[in-house]
């Protein structure tokens, strides 16, 4: 039997660039029991698939810690009904454990309970039909202990990056404290270099071989090298143990070589009692650390901005809810404040104006408006009245509402959105593989380039010293030998190469843009499940729409009732009461539409009595209807006095009713004329359904039913076609109906009457022709084709199966968001390419400049300049990605113009 694999999520801190990601992935994949690893730099998360019989998440955490990073397991809320994990405080010994376990197992509905004193956790299996989470918590609290739900760890604490920002700010200020005096000394030397006739006071020796300025440089450099650079040394040490390289190693190499070289030549000069103190590199480490720590500080501040969208979503969750007990006419008998975790399904909650809705629910009393902008992207408040659906995290704007909880905990819309966005930001865009692959070669390449730069300038210096002399300050050539000047210049350029090279910008190019892009999409009601669909959507050149529930509302509606019988015999209201009562016993969607229409026209929720009901799927129904008089008496629109008297005095009648298609009416011994057939054909050509009904053996009328087209469907199709996208309607409905709907919205290619498996085959056919296909659907039968398409787009009001199978979810159920999702994809990929371009150009130009290639033109860099440029490159890439935050979804007015 095959071993079962499991997946765990880990939060990782301490990663700085793509080389850190590569180090973690490479080393974890070497371990036995680990099947796959995906590490996301920006989200600070890792998804690990492993074999639990061989390795456990705790051991994986230890492996990551050994690599020099901090890791914790993210406790997943699997939301399995009947399973609960509680955090219990107040336990002191094993007797507490026994007390809680024994008391819980005595409660009706609790199957078993296991309490762990060490972790303060309780695992409980219970029957959710008998009791709920709040009941269990109250049992434990009744014993004198405190209990709360062990919730899934939120990434909000990591996303605010407070720890990293504080760390690098502290590091920057420490480096600056010593770096400013070093900078002042450098300026002093540069000024004196321009005045060769004035002697440098600080150049005088304290002892032979040791000048005042070198002593000051040494005193200022040493604390930074060993205290300010401690983090870099630790990370480099751990990387080297595991035979990997990181950006920190380049920094350590540059500063250590500069410091040790300076220290050695200074000691040699003092040992030899040299008349002049040598020119050292003690000025390099302080300024390198100043600019590196400043860059890291600014980079983390900018990174925090990239996750603003997810942070806002996470902060929407209400912490408490007002639980109420309702009496007659929804009067409130009692109320209490409870943690939102303890809200159970079917609880009644009171929401005051200005409060957040704690869970998804249905309004049972009150009228108000809700601000759902941060969840669905809808900017206008949505009116809420009895029967309306409310979403957790949205804000009650006006009146007080009473709601009934329908989805709680991890099942709420907000929780699902947050999980989708988190998963999206953990995933990698295919274009990011370029940076990941490059990082494995980048640092060895830069170290090699640094060594070659040193060797090249040593060679050039001894062959043609005049070329090198252009890059040397005047003062340094006064009392120093030619050989020392050559070595010094070669060291400086090789160190500058190490300082300026930066794989960070390449590593941040894609994930920062993906994080901002998916966040912006979520704010606009478009949930994009990761970097791959975000990148793929821009390539789409065929958009395939399902019909029912996608381009149409998916809810059949009666649009017309044609009466064929003399109205004096059976008035319209009587006909509606009879037909509505007959169809009330059917579960067919068309029957529901007829019943709803009849009730609305009669102004009552009460219908007559139906007996001897029989139905044949796809054909129609027959039955007997009675008690119609009572229905008409309760109608809001009272009949005339004469009719009322007739109804009151009349004996209850029995009506024999037949409702269905032509074949069904014929089968029941009735006939219809050519005029009736022509009328039905006319409506069917328009994509409508015509149903015949007969009462007491007489053909009485035609009911016309239609699934109306969404108002934005035609605009969406027009915009896509102008973008060069081929639009196709793919449906299981009959050809006439499909063609009628397609003609209304401007779709020219129609594929109708296909099964779900045939839909998949049609999409595969497009793909085999080299097309990039997006499928837009909403139903269970659409899930296979949504998975097959290059980009599956699900309507937010669709089934859970379709939403799960799709790559993009349109929360606002607006088809224009199909255009917006492609637009976001194009904008994000363009931003990624811009980031890659500047990151590559930076290294392609920066490294040669640092190596002194442009020295003949008078361009030469100091090591601290290289570190400043390196820091600026990472920050600039993050700021470039942040430009996506200004993205505005195309408005209807602009789309009208483009159409």
Residue 264, both tokens? 């050695």
446/246 Cα distance (integer angstroms): 11
Q: Which residues, including other chains, have CB under 8 Å from residue 410's CB and lie 6 or more apart?
A: 77, 79, 152, 416, 419
Q: Among residues 283, 341, 546, 790, which one is catalytic?
A: 546
549/846 Cα distance (integer angstroms): 56
Helix (H) or strand (E) holding 8: strand 6-13
Q: Which residues, including other chains, have CB under 8 Å from residue 785's CB and lie 6 or more apart?
A: 544, 730, 756, 759, 760, 762, 763, 775, 777, 792
Q: Judging by DSSP bridges, how do beta strands 609-616 and 620-626 pair with one another?
A: antiparallel
Q: Do 636 and 601 form a contact (C-beta atoms < 8 A)?
A: no
857/306 Cα distance (integer angstroms): 40
Exposure of 630 in the CB half-sphere (CA atoms within 13 A): 10
Q: Which residues, including other chains, have CB under 8 Å from residue 840's CB and lie 6 or more apart?
A: 506
Cα 411–Cα 372–Cα 161 angle in degrees, nearest 5 = 75
SS3 586: coil
> How would you write 527-574 as a 3-class SS string?
EECCHHHHHHHHHCCEEEECHHHHHECCCCEEEEEEECCCCCCCCHHH
- Count Cβ neighbours within 10 Å for each residue of 164-187 and write b for 16 or more, e otherwise: bbebbbebbebbbebbeebeebbe
Q: Which residues, including other chains, have CB under 8 Å from residue 844's CB and lie 6 or more apart?
A: none
Phi first, then psi: give them for residue 87, nearest 5 degrees: -100, 120
Which of the 8 DSSP states describes residue 155?
T
196/39 Cα distance (integer angstroms): 56
SS3 399: coil
378/869 Cα distance (integer angstroms): 43
Largest CA distance in the chain: 132
Q: Is 191 exposed, middle or buried (0-12, 13-18, 19+ CB in 10 A)?
A: exposed
Task: Assess whether 546 carries a catalytic annotation.
Answer: yes
User: What Cα–Cα distance (Å) separates residue 852 from each residue in 454, 491, 841?
Assistant: 10, 11, 17
Phi first, then psi: give them for residue 317, nearest 5 degrees: -65, 125
Q: Do 612 and 625 form a contact (C-beta atoms < 8 A)?
A: no
Q: Which of 432, 417, 375, 435 is nearest to 529 (CA)?
A: 417
Residue 170, both tokens? 């502290």
Q: Do 471 and 488 form a contact (C-beta atoms < 8 A)?
A: no
676/686 Cα distance (integer angstroms): 16
Concatenated DSSP letters of 279-300: P--TTHHHHHHHHHHHHHHHHH
Concatenated DSSP letters of 863-877: HHHHHHHHHHHHHHH
Beta strands across the sheet bearing 749-751: 526-528, 808-810, 791-795, 773-777, 542-545, 726-730, 749-751
Helix (H) or strand (E) holding 395: strand 395-396
Phi first, then psi: give them for residue 265, nearest 5 degrees: -70, -25
Q: Do 30 and 16 form a contact (C-beta atoms < 8 A)?
A: no
209/216 Cα distance (integer angstroms): 14
Terminal alpha carbon distance of the chain: 59
Active-site positions?
546
């Amino acid at each position: 039997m095959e071993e079962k694999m499991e997946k765990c999520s880990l939060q990782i801190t301490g990663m700085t660039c793509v080389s850190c990601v590569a180090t973690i992935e490479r080393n974890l994949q070497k371990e036995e029991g680990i099947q796959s690893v995906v590490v996301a730099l920006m989200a600070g998360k890792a998804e690990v698939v492993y074999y639990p019989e061989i390795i456990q998440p705790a051991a994986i955490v230890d492996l990551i810690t050994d690599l020099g990073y901090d890791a914790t397991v993210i406790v997943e809320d699997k939301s399995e009904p009947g399973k609960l994990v509680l955090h219990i405080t107040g336990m002191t010994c094993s007797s507490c454990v026994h007390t809680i376990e024994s008391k819980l197992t005595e409660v009706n509905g609790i199957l078993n309970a296991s309490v762990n004193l060490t972790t303060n956790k309780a695992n409980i299996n219970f029957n959710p039909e008998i009791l709920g989470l709040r009941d269990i918590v109250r049992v434990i609290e009744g014993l004198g202990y405190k209990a709360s739900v062990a919730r899934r760890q939120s990434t909000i604490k990591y996303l605010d990056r407070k720890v990293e920002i504080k760390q690098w700010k502290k590091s920057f200020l420490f480096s600056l404290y010593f770096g400013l005096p070093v900078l002042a000394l450098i300026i002093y030397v540069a000024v004196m270099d321009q005045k060769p006739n004035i002697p440098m006071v600080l150049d005088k020796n304290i002892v032979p071989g040791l000048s005042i300025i070198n002593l000051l440089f040494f005193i200022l450099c040493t604390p930074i090298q060993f205290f300010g650079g401690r983090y870099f040394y630790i990370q480099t040490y751990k990387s080297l143990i595991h035979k990997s390289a990181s950006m920190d190693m380049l920094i350590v190499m540059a500063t250590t070589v500069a410091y040790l070289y300076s220290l050695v030549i200074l000691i040699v000069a003092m040992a030899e009692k040299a008349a002049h103190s040598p020119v050292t590199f003690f000025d390099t480490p302080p300024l390198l650390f100043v600019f590196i720590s400043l860059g890291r500080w600014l980079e983390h501040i900018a990174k925090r901005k990239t996750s603003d969208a997810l942070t806002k979503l996470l902060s929407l969750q209400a912490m408490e809810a007002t639980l109420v007990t309702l009496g007659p006419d929804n009067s409130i008998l009692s109320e209490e404040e409870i943690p939102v975790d303890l809200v159970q399904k079917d609880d009644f909650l009171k929401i005051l104006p200005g409060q957040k809705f704690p869970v998804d629910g249905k309004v049972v009393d009150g009228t108000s408006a809700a601000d759902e902008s941060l969840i669905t992207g809808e900017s206008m408040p949505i009116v809420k009245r009895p029967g309306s659906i409310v979403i957790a995290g949205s804000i009650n704007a006006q009146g007080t509402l009473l709601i009934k909880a329908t989805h709680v905990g991890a099942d709420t819309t907000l929780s699902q959105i947050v999980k989708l966005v988190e998963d999206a930001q953990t995933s990698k865009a295919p274009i990011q593989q370029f940076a990941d692959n490059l990082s494995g070669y980048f640092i060895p390449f830069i170290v090699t380039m640094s060594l070659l730069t040193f060797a090249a300038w040593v060679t050039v210096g001894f062959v043609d010293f005049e070329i090198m002399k252009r890059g040397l300050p005047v003062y340094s050539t006064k009392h120093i030998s030619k050989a020392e000047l050559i070595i010094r210049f070669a060291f400086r350029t090789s160190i500058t190469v190490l300082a300026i090279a930066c794989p960070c910008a390449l590593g941040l190019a894609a994930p920062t843009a993906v994080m901002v892009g998916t966040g912006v999409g979520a704010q606009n009601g478009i949930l994009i499940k990761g970097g791959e669909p975000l990148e793929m959507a821009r390539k789409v050149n065929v958009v395939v729409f399902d019909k029912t529930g996608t381009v149409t509302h998916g809810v059949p509606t009666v649009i017309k009732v044609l009466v064929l019988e003399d109205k004096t015999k059976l008035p319209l209201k009587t006909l509606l009461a009879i037909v509505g009562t007959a169809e009330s016993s059917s579960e067919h969607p068309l029957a529901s539409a007829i019943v709803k229409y009849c009730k609305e026209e009669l102004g009552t929720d009460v219908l007559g009595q139906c007996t001897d009901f029989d139905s044949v799927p796809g054909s129609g129904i027959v039955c007997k209807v009675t008690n119609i008089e009572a229905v008409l008496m309760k109608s809001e629109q009272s009949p005339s006095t004469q009719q009322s008297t007739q109804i009151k005095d009349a004996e209850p009648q029995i009506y024999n009713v037949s409702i269905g298609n032509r074949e069904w009416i014929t089968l029941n011994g009735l006939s219809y004329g050519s005029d009736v057939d022509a009328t039905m054909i006319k409506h069917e050509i328009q994509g409508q359904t015509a149903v015949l009904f007969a009462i007491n053996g007489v053909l009485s009328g035609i009911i016309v039913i239609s699934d109306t087209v969404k108002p934005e469907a035609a605009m969406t199709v027009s915009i896509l076609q102008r973008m060069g996208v081929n639009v196709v309607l793919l449906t299981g409905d009959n050809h006439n109906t499909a063609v009628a709907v397609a003609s209304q919205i401007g779709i020219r290619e129609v594929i109708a009457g296909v099964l779900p498996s045939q839909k998949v085959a049609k999409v595969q056919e497009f793909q085999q022709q080299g097309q990039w296909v997006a499928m837009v659907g909403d139903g269970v039968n659409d899930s296979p084709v949504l998975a097959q398409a290059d980009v599956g787009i699900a309507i937010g009001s669709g089934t859970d199966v379709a939403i799960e199978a799709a790559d993009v979810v349109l929360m606002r159920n607006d088809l224009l968001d199909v255009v917006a999702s492609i637009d976001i994809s194009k904008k994000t990929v363009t931003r990624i390419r811009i980031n890659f371009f500047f990151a590559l150009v930076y290294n392609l130009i920066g490294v040669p400049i640092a190596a002194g290639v442009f020295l003949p033109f008078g361009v030469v860099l100091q090591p601290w300049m290289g570190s400043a440029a390196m820091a600026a490159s990472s920050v600039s890439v993050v700021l470039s990605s942040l430009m996506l935050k200004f993205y505005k979804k195309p408005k209807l007015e602009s789309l009208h113009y483009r159409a």
